[in-house]
Amino acid sequence: MTAIWRNDGADWRLLAPSGFPDEHTLHGLVADAPQILPLAGSPRLTVVGREVVLGGNYADLLAVEPSGRLVVVEIKLARNAEARRAVVAQILTYAAFLRGLDPPTLERQILGPHLRKLGHDGLAAAVAADDQEGSFDAAVFDEGLAASLAEGRFRLVLVLDEAPEELVRLVGYLESVAERLVIDLVTVAAYDIGGS
């Protein structure tokens, strides 16, 4: 359990989270700084689309790892009724839609407008531009992306401000039986410290 303490000059007190005003605020934070998410294996994520249409519905974020693994991120606040079991069905629906697509279809038909808005002509270019270590390998990426899509080997990330116990159990169960999926359940909190 993380705690933030503040000394007001006279005494120390435990700060309570201030919360997020809405899902859009949390959505923007994760899209702008995906590295803040403590994900299993600590991959670097490159966000390649926001509100991406997948099978008639909108995935909050679509990202990709340097390995080529596709990442679907769904963001909910606990006060949203979908923050319990429905969010799992939602993200699995997106994964089911993506499985079996070929990379050109993903890049042109689904992510084309998003990639152009970011100034990239393809997924590899987006990841290469985000590579801070100079270790990006386009051939490895292309092979990994094709395998991720063909086999349904995705990372599914659920980001909430609070995770109900039933959701924690459900995600734990799914990850234990679904060998092709990496499922990260991340809770985040916002604090107001001196107006920041």
- pTM for the full model? 0.92
- Find all residues with CB under 8 Å of 5, minimum gap 6, and list them: 12, 13, 14, 15
Token readout for 95 is: 């994964």
Average pLDDT, the chain: 92
Please report which confidence band the pLDDT of residue 145 belongs to, taking 50, 70 and 90 as the band edges.
very high
Tens of pLDDT, residues 86-96: 899 999 999 99
Please report which confidence band the pLDDT of residue 83 belongs to, taking 50, 70 and 90 as the band edges.
low
Contact (CB, 8 A) for 78 and 11: no
Question: Distance of CA 100 to CAs 39, 104, 105, 195, Å?
Answer: 25, 12, 10, 47
Task: Tell whether the torsion through CA atoms of 138, 141, 147 and 149 is positive or negative.
Answer: negative
Task: Tell whether the torsion through CA atoms of 158, 159, 164 and 165 is positive or negative.
Answer: positive
* Residue ranges of domains in the chain, CATH in brackets: 21-187 (3.40.1350.10)
Please report how the helices 86-98 and 165-177 are oriented relative to each other, as an axis angle in degrees rounded to 10: 30
